[in-house]
Amino acid sequence: MVGTRRVGKYEVGRTIGEGTFAKVKFARNTETGQNVAMKILAKSSILKHRMVDQIKREISIMKIVRHPYIVRLHEVLASQSKIYIILEFVTGGELFDKIVHKGRLSEKESRKYFQQLIDAVSHCHGKGVYHRDLKPENLLLDSCENLKVSDFGLSALPQKGVDLLYTTCGTPNYVAPEVLSGQGYDGAAADVWSCGVILYVLMVGYLPFEETDLPTLYKKINAADFTCPFWFSPGAKLLIDKILDPNPKTRIKIKGIISDPWFRKDYIPIRHGVEEKVNLDDIHAVFEDIEDQYVTESRKNDGGPLVMNAFEMITLSQGLNLSALFDRRLDHVKKQTRFVSRKPAEVIISTIGAVAESMGLKVHTRYYKTRLEATSASRTGQLAVVLEVFEVAPSLFMVDVRKAAGDMLEYHKFYKNFIAKMEHIIWKPREGFAPSSLLKAVSH
């Protein structure tokens, strides 16, 4: 790797992945020659999007749940401006790609991956960690075709005195019915359900619950309305029926799965040596300085959406005429559009999510920023839209809407439809409203 840059003892090479908040680069440990994946996050981005707690939690969890079937976190480093997460370099791609390529896997191969998945999930639950986003896309394969569970970004750690979780998260098709109900759920039982959906997908090549609109999808999930194809063996069908039980209290538990006759065929429990003592001091050290900045940032914004100052508002308007910011009739549907609301920021964000779901869009929300994606995986140039809430004056919020990906005509159709459904929370200024007076208030 001649001419590459260094981070500590690591030589850094090509970019092998890129997400919303991080880049992943191939790197090599110059002391051992070991290849690793280096996840690079900008501290400024973490602060701006208030991701400190989530990133710290994800790193801590990956260190706590060391297991042969889980992507290993080697160490965490930091510079003045960046955080570097050094991870095991997994070369076999996603299990999802294998399913797409083969259509479906044999019962024997499906069972092998399911056994490895249950081993990994059982280990996590033993540590009090619930993944909450188990799906084939988050399951990688190493060079020996063994499973590696990744992406603990939505995982939950136990809280003292709290038995149930309440955050609705994960991918709709893989989510347990009780998670969708919003009444609180047991993280272990919810993960078991997702494992059952994964087993079904491995053996069939398609999802047990798949509908174009979310209300119909949720009805099917709540009723566990699915059928097993004729090629399922009786043992496989019986186990899947026990896992995809819509009642979490009667749903089979991990221990029951491990003792199931179908599961135990050719099963070799993993032995991963002496339990290592986990020390999180290096993680605390990396985040110590950034948390000082984060507390300052949070105090300024009082934990709410980012405040947009007068000069930022001017850059969004047509010259110094701020009318277009507050009257949608003057603002053509471009790649970037906006509307204003007097509803609380939390209400705006929850309404955006509810409307988007009713339109069959995937919703990813982090604080006061939401990304919406079309659910059709077959569509080329798939539409993606990002919405962010800004405070422009006390009790007045602007929602910035922009096309992140996809066809402009599709975005135009989306925006017209979306905005019609949001009408009840959009604020329409009375006649005679002077945007300049608002600008004066914001600038102070």
Tell the burial category of 146 from Cβ atoms under 10 Å away from its Cβ (0-12, 13-18, 19+).
middle
Residues 187-203: tens digit of each pLDDT: 889 899 999 999 999 99
Round to whole Å and give the CA distance between 35 and 405.
Answer: 33
Residues 188-242: tens digit of each pLDDT: 898 999 999 999 999 998 888 877 777 888 888 888 888 899 889 999 999 999 9
Q: Which of 133, 151, 186, 331 is catalytic?
A: 133
Q: Span 5-90+285-296: which CATH code?
A: 3.30.200.20
pLDDT mean over 169-185: 73
Task: Indicate if the pLDDT at residue 282 is higher than 90.
Answer: no
Which spans in 68-106 are helix H? Answer: 95-102
Confidence of residue 276 (pLDDT cuts 50, 70, 90): low
The domain locations on the chain are 5-90+285-296, 95-264, 304-443
Type and span of the H or E element at 415: helix 408-421
Establish whether 428 is an annotated binding residue. Answer: no
Round to whole Å and give the CA distance between 57 and 53.
Answer: 6
Q: Span 95-264: which CATH code?
A: 1.10.510.10
* 133 labelled catalytic: yes
Round to whole Å and give the CA distance between 291 and 298.
Answer: 10
Q: Residue 240's pLDDT is what?
A: 95
- pTM given for the model: 0.60
- In the chain, the percentage of residues whose pLDDT exceeds 70 is 74
Residues 76-90: tens digit of each pLDDT: 888 888 888 888 888
Type and span of the H or E element at 351: helix 345-358
Q: Name the class of domain 304-443.
A: alpha beta
User: Which phi and psi angles does 30 have, rounded to 5°?
Assistant: -70, -20
Looking at beta carbons, which pairs linking 275-279 to residues 24 or more positions away fall under 8 Å? 276/66, 278/63, 278/64, 278/66
